[in-house]
Amino acid sequence: MAVFKYKGVDTNGQPITSTIEADNKEQAENILKSRKISVSEVKKDFSKIEIKLPEKITDDDILISTRQMSVMVDAGLPIVKALDIIATQADKKKMRDIFVDVKGNIETGSEFNKALMKYKYDFGELYVNMVAAGEAGGLLDTILDRLGIYLEKAISLRRKVKSAMMYPTVVLVVAVLVVYGLMVFIIPKFKEMYEDFGGELPALTQFAITLSDFLSKWYGGGLIFATLIVSFITLKMIYSRSPQGRYKMDQFFLRIPKIGDLIRKVAVAKFSRTFGTLLNSGVSILDSLDIVAKTSGNKVIEKALLESKKDIEGGKTIVEPLEKSGVFPSMVIQMIAVGEETGSLDQMLTKIADFYDDEVDRAVEGLTKLIEPFLMIFVGGAVGFVIIAMYLPIFKLGDVIN
């Protein structure tokens, strides 16, 4: 509802100015008319407008709801009753609205997975397809439990990578701010002192002072900031809007030493976990490959999986195109081949995912240890450059005096 200001005369003939809540101006006028107020002016009160950012549903929100549904369905509660309970307990309004709508669709005869399809961008195609497989096989409680396990593993994997990158990012930002502070606030003090002395400054000192002058002016810092913003937006547009550009960038990141290794291990862990969960839930291998490809988050892996799908449709195995892509390690290829031959591909994929979860831990730890000395060298080098550049004239002055 919106808030409206109004002016008018009440039933006693006294002027009145106040506010009223209504959906629109016409409704506000009708309410005032029913109160027998003679209105002279009604307008929206913009001072009462609250700016609300759209709520975003996170994987944690979906995990909590899935766990709740799994327990209630396993206990024998009908899905409609379970959705009703979750709708009343959800913290976010958007989650409450979604479950109320899904519950309403089921009550009118729709299946749970078809009601969820409307919100596939919030829950994901994997979630909807697994629910569909669970309903078809009469194993909805089991599927919800598997979804809960999958979400927990996926969230844990993402948090590991984020936490590993947090420390070097913070150190790098602090280092840049410290160097910027030295250039803008400290070097100008030395500049004034050297100008009083007169004489020619060493080349390194002159370069530091020139750089300081540039950064101290409003356009210097602004130009650097604008360049970073434009570069980020350009890369973002190339990555998000150009499939070919995104493929090239993903390919480039995979080739970076250590970082590419970490990205590959994260991708393999995610692929194995998602693919194995779908197959174990009764989703067909072709549908599973299609879903895994779309949710991989990496165009190189997506291309390899879609080519695998085409080969399987032509009667071939999944192994050859995965091996051809060069993304998947030989151990993964061999284990998938064994899983196909023995008919236990879903179990083999789960073992691969568990193994690579541990590999991600080790890769993250190794990358963090590798980054730390480079950060220290950068910080020490930057601060050392400023100190040496500023004290060089003083050393030369001492030599002259001697």
Q: Where are the domains of the chain?
A: 2-48, 59-152, 165-402
Radius of gyration, CA atoms only, the chain? 31
Indicate the CATH number for domain 165-402.
1.20.81.30
Q: 102 vs 193, which has greater pLDDT?
A: 102
Q: 243 vs 212, which has greater pLDDT?
A: 212
Q: Within 13 Å and on the Cβ side, how many CA atoms surround 281?
A: 31
Pair type for strands 38-44 and 2-9 = antiparallel
Q: How far apart are CA 336 and CA 304, in angstroms?
A: 14
Q: How far apart are CA 154 and CA 156, in angstroms?
A: 5
pLDDT at position 346:
85
Say if pTM beats, i.e. exceeds, 0.85.
no
User: How distant, in Å, are the alpha carbons of 60, 113, 133, 154, 262 from that of 150?
Assistant: 12, 18, 16, 6, 20
The Cα diameter of the chain in Å comes to: 100
398 pLDDT above the threshold of 60 = no
Tell me the angle at which helices 187-197 and 345-401 cross, rounded to the nearest 10 degrees: 20
For 150-162, b where at least 16 C-beta lie within 10 A, e where not — what string? bbebbeebeebbe
pLDDT at position 92:
83
CATH topology classification for 2-48: Ubiquitin-like (UB roll) (3.10.20)
pLDDT at position 58:
86
Q: What percent of the chain has pLDDT over 90?
A: 0
pLDDT (average), residues 306-311 = 81
User: How distant, in Å, are the alpha carbons of 273, 288, 317, 320, 347 from that of 336?
Assistant: 13, 15, 10, 11, 10
Dump pLDDT digits (tens) for 23-81. 788 888 888 787 778 888 888 776 655 555 567 888 888 889 889 988 998 888 888 89
Whether 165-402 and 59-152 are alike in CATH topology: the answer is yes
pLDDT mean across residues, the chain: 80
pLDDT (average), residues 370-393 = 81
CATH superfamily of 59-152: Type II secretion system (T2SS), domain F (1.20.81.30)
Dump pLDDT digits (tens) for 240-279. 666 777 778 778 878 888 778 888 888 888 888 888 888 8
